[in-house]
Amino acid sequence: MTDRVTVHVHEGVADVRLNRPDKLNALDIATFEALAETGDALAADPSVRAVVLSGEGRAFCAGLDFANFAAMAGDGPSDGGPGGSGGSAASGGQRFKRLLSDITDREPGRITNLGQQAVHTWHELPQPVIAAVHGHALGGGLQIALGADIRIVAPDAKLSVLEIRWGLVPDMTGTAALLRLVGEDVAKELTFTGRMVGGDEAVRLGLATRTADDPRAAATDLAREIAGRSPDAIRAAKRLLNRAAEGGDLAGQYLEESRELGALRGSPNQAEAVRAYFGKREAAFTDPA
């Protein structure tokens, strides 16, 4: 990972932050790489039970780095070199150009390219992910938030499917997420117009789960609550709900529910949940292997 993303884990909650506050956390190639690597690292850490995803500074994420956008068009250099602050400006732009020229290429062993994986990693992570959104979440920044399981937004936040401004379409898994969350007609309106949506409207439309004056604090409180539940049950629930949201057949979904419940029933963490409830005490769960 690079300094583009910071991670701190405390009592089962991973605090993950986009860390380019001087650029409103705009996305460059190093940020894509750092997000994908962070997701891989968290997935492999059984001590992590919930994730809070936010941005440092005045915004969650303002979208694509304009320096990189200029570099893609051949109009100027990029400051997004390898390793975050290291590397030449030209090399960052060249890597972005290669990404776009080979955009249909998939990352090894994945269904995504690098930009898509920076978002999809939160969807496929076994632990729940809560995005805390303040300031702007525009274009690719909004798509990163949509990759989370839950979104808590500030009332004055500004969200937009902004790609249409540049004559583009959402290309970081956003089309699938929008349809799941807001339905076809709203997804089309937001994508066709790129209009700004405030926090309260985002909740009404389904882009966000709820508002909070301090989204990070609210997300952290929720993550701590989730981290106190059986991690086996939480992971099983996310698998089942993801599958259902992705439109699996009902027969297969119902069979998978039975399989997941069968694996949980009588397991050490399930028994501990029952004992703790009736003993009126905090449960002492074991992290997944």
**pLDDT: is 257 or 188 the higher one?**
188
Those residues whose C-beta lies under 8 Å from the C-beta of residue 266, and which sit 6 or more positions away, are none
Distance separating alpha carbons of residues 229 and 272, to the nearest angstrom? 10
Distance separating alpha carbons of residues 173 and 85, to the nearest angstrom? 27
Distance separating alpha carbons of residues 289 and 232, to the nearest angstrom? 10
Tokens representing 137 are 């979440």
Mean pLDDT of 201-224: 98
pLDDT band for position 111 (50/70/90)? very high
Cα dihedral 94, 96, 97, 101 sign: positive
Mean pLDDT of 163-175: 92
Mean pLDDT of 182-193: 97
pLDDT of residue 86: 38
pLDDT of residue 98: 55
Is the predicted pLDDT of residue 93 greater than 60, yes or no?
no
pLDDT of residue 138: 98
Mean pLDDT of 237-257: 89
pLDDT of residue 103: 81
Distance separating alpha carbons of residues 177 and 187, to the nearest angstrom? 9
Which of these ranges, 37-41, 93-97, 127-131, has the smallest mean pLDDT? 93-97
Distance separating alpha carbons of residues 141 and 126, to the nearest angstrom? 22
Distance separating alpha carbons of residues 180 and 228, to the nearest angstrom? 28
pLDDT band for position 252 (50/70/90)? confident
pLDDT of residue 206: 98
pTM: 0.88
pLDDT of residue 253: 83
Distance separating alpha carbons of residues 92 and 176, to the nearest angstrom? 29
pLDDT of residue 10: 98
